[in-house]
Amino acid sequence: MFRALRIELAHPNPTLVHEFRNFGEEVYAALRDVYGVSLKEIHASTSEFHVRRIHRRELRRVEARVRRLAERYANLHPVLVQEVMDDGDA
């Protein structure tokens, strides 16, 4: 019933870790009240994190919102946003 989005850098680069985490913090602030987003996971990440507990009918809207937030971070492009099964970890 629930899905997750895996958000990752297409071309991971150690010089982009700080900017990627800043982007993750924006995603966290925008979605934390409704979906499963872990600040701990974002701060530990170097190239990917997840947004969990997304109902199927909301998936495309949440994906579009994440992509809009990513547009502010030109150095990170492309940021990949993929649907994955929700494993329940958040």
pTM over 0.75: yes
**pLDDT tens readout for residues 1-41:** 899 999 999 999 999 999 999 999 999 999 999 999 999 99
| Average pLDDT across the chain, whole number | 95
Q: Are 4 and 54 in contact (CB under 8 A)?
A: yes
The answer to whether residue 88 scores a pLDDT higher than 90 is no
Tokens 């913090």 belong to residue: 25
Three-class secondary structure of residue 48 per DSSP:
strand
